[in-house]
Amino acid sequence: MRIAGCTDTGIRRQHNEDHIGYNQDLGIAVLADGMGGHQSGEIASHMAVESVLESLKSMANGDASGAITSSQLLEFVSNTISDSNSLIFNAAEQLEQHRGMGTTLVATMIQGGRLYAGHVGDSRLYLYRNQSLSRVTKDHSLVQDLVDRGFYTEEEARVASVGHIVTRALGTKPEVEVDTLEKDLEPGDVLLLCSDGLSDMVADWHIEEMLREGEGELEQTAQRLVDQSNRNGGKDNISVILIQVSRPTAETDQR
């Protein structure tokens, strides 16, 4: 597989509170979008990405990973994100200026030809397969709750005058509920992790079109997505990670 990522402050923000991290050899990627005053969001997102990335790397490098079941791997992803939540919450409690800081997070790990993912907040995971884009995660946000309850369609929600409020985030409470998922992957699949700086500014159909036009050009496509978000207004920090499954992961099965 191949992985490419980029992050950008955007046009209207002073600081970049997004953070990304990935390991191409191990098939791991983590993206976070921080929140909080006094640059606390930047601290929270860095803590989240670095702690989750290190834990997933330890798991992927472990000799026992091949004997671990799918349900155990998924539980490990969930527990790793929960541990990161505790880390951020405790740090915020110790320093008054960082009280209430938090971050969204989406993390993916590919093992044995399967995707294992966990997420909290409104940073998203998409799957691009056979030239078609589908969203894999569901936002933990007020707008998504209103869509689920029938107040808006997905299209109406994009332009609704509803405050941008996440209903779940890492670090804001002692405990957090983590949504997890697993999915079989196919050769040619592309996974897209992104912050709302992309998904709010570039419609899904346009993202799909850009992925189709940029097939095989992972680094360039990631940068083009960021550039398009800025052309559309760049209201927020923008982060993108693309993962391409270029062949069956038989080598991972043997590890």
Burial 217-255 (b: 16+ CB within 10 A, else e): ebeebbbbbbebbbeeebbbbbbbbbbbbeeebeebeee
For residue 121, pLDDT over 70 is answered with yes
Q: What is the CATH number of the domain that holds 52?
A: 3.60.40.10
What is the per-residue pLDDT for 254?
A: 37
| pLDDT tier for residue 105 given thresholds of 50, 70 and 90 | very high
Tally Cβ neighbours within 10 Å of residue 71.
Answer: 9
The pLDDT of 151-159, averaged and rounded, is 77
In tens, the pLDDT along 188-205 reads 999 999 999 999 999 999
In tens, the pLDDT along 38-53 reads 679 999 999 999 999 9
Of 56-70, 135-149, 221-235, least confident by mean pLDDT is 56-70
Cβ-based neighbours of 54, under 8 Å, separated by 6 or more: none
Dump the DSSP string for 204-250. Answer: HHHHHHHHHHTTT-HHHHHHHHHHHHHHTT--S-EEEEEEE--S--H
Of 53-67, 72-86, 169-183, least confident by mean pLDDT is 53-67
Q: What is the pTM of this model?
A: 0.91
What is the per-residue pLDDT for 147?
A: 84
Going by C-alpha positions, the residue among 132, 107, 137, 143 that lies closest to residue 207 is 132
For residue 220, pLDDT over 70 is answered with yes
| pLDDT tier for residue 252 given thresholds of 50, 70 and 90 | very low
For residue 255, pLDDT over 50 is answered with no
CA distances to 56, 158, 240 from 8, in Å: 25, 22, 9
Write out 10-41 in H/E/C secondary structure. CCCCCCCCEEEEEECCCCEEEEEEEECCCCHH
- Rounded to whole angstroms, the Cα distance separating 93 from 105 reads 20
The pLDDT of 236-248, averaged and rounded, is 88
Average pLDDT, the chain: 90
> What value does the CA radius of gyration of the chain take, rounded to a whole number of Å?
17
For residue 209, pLDDT over 70 is answered with yes
Domain that holds residue 209: 2-254
First to last CA, the chain: 15
For residue 253, pLDDT over 50 is answered with no
Q: Is the CB of residue 126 less than 8 Å from the CB of residue 136?
A: yes
- Dig out the tokens for 131 from the structure: 């030239």
Helix (H, G, I), strand (E, B) or coil at 187: coil
- Dig out the tokens for 110 from the structure: 């590919």
The pLDDT of 156-182, averaged and rounded, is 87
Domain count, the chain: 1
Of 82-86, 158-162, 172-176, 247-251, least confident by mean pLDDT is 247-251
Of 18-27, 37-46, 109-118, 172-181, least confident by mean pLDDT is 37-46
For residue 126, pLDDT over 90 is answered with yes
What is the per-residue pLDDT for 249?
A: 42
- Sheet hosting strand 102-111, strand order edge to edge: 18-23, 28-35, 102-111, 114-120, 179-184
Dump the DSSP string for 42-102. Answer: HHHHHHHHHHHHHHHHHHHH-GGGGG--HHHHHHHHHHHHHHHHHHHHHHHHH-GGGTT-E
For residue 61, pLDDT over 70 is answered with yes
Class of residue 55 by CB neighbours under 10 A (exposed 0-12, middle 13-18, buried 19+): buried
The pLDDT of 2-22, averaged and rounded, is 96
